[in-house]
Amino acid sequence: MPGAVRAVALASLLAWRVAPLHNSQFWEPGDEWVEATSHIAVDVMFRTPQWLEDQLDRVLVRHEASVGYSTCFWYNVLTSQMLFDRSGWYSALQQRAQQPYPEPLRLAIIGKNFPILRQTLSSFLHQVEKAVERNDLVSINHRVASLLASYFDVLFAVNRLPHPGEKRLIEIAETRCAKRPVGMSRQIESALRASATASHEVVARAELLVEGLEQLLRGEGLLSL
């Protein structure tokens, strides 16, 4: 590529990276931009009051579990910093979110997420094994990620903690979860390293990961779910 053309292409790429994005619909409605003076990247998501209230109702009233990340929006409401609240609606919502972890929700999350780790024909562990047999690296990565999503959903539920989301999960679990599998961090790291190859080692590592969680549930008397 000639130098002038290469420079133009690079300039276009950099402009695309920092260009404002309005009415983004990729995940949730929102805007993205970089502040001109501070150069801080801002990512704003727009959620209606009714939608957010329903997310709290889903877990705190109806006790409905998801496959992974069941209580993330509850955590989001609990830990967010309010900047403006003309009517006092969000303040009231945060006060409502300040309640003990419902036991029916805890049992529902464990009951929905633990069996699909390895107990069913379509379990994540079985899918990892089939992906190894196909030499399918993309599928291995996808299924290990899904296994970990449900693993952490169960772990935070066991500890009666709202799920903090997808970032720094090992660190948060190690510092905030009093009840956790022995050697949890080492087992997770080993499984993730093994998932970079299509060897049966990833199956063995994932099996150890689930076994550790099962032992924790057994010790808490939660295996009858």
pLDDT in tens, 53-95: 999 999 999 999 999 999 999 999 999 999 999 999 999 999 9
14 pLDDT more than 50: no
pLDDT higher than threshold 70 for residue 11: no
Are the C-beta atoms of residues 140 and 202 closer than 8 Å to each other? Answer: yes
pLDDT (0 to 100) of residue 1: 43
In a 3-state reduction of DSSP, which class is residue 144?
Answer: helix
With cut-offs at 50, 70 and 90, classify the pLDDT of residue 220. very high
Residue 19: pLDDT band with limits 50, 70, 90: low
| 3 state DSSP class of 22 | strand
Kindly report which listed range (12-26, 73-87, 137-151, 198-212) carries the lowest average pLDDT score. 12-26
What tokens were used for 144?
């290990």
The secondary structure of 41-96, three-state, reads: EEEEECCCHHHHHHHHHHHHHCCCCCCCCCCHHHHHHHHCCCCCCCCCHHHHHHHH
Predicted confidence (pLDDT) at residue 30 exceeds the cutoff of 90: no
Is residue 23 scored above 80 in pLDDT?
no
CA distance 95 to 56: 12
Among 26-30, 79-83, 118-122, 152-156, name the one with the lowest average pLDDT: 26-30
- Average pLDDT of the chain to the nearest whole number: 88
What pLDDT was estimated at residue 131?
96
Q: Give the tens place of pLDDT for each residue, 189-217.
A: 999 999 999 899 999 999 999 999 999 99
The predicted model gives 86-115 an average pLDDT of 97
- The encoded tokens of residue 111 equal 């009951």
pLDDT band at 7 (very low <50, low <70, confident <90, very high): very low
With both helix axes pointing from N to C terminus, report the angle between 72-79 and 89-97 in degrees, rounded to the nearest 10: 120
Report the pLDDT value the prediction gives residue 44, as an integer from 0 to 100: 81
The confidence score (pLDDT) of residue 3 equals 44
Q: Is the pLDDT of residue 17 over 80?
A: no
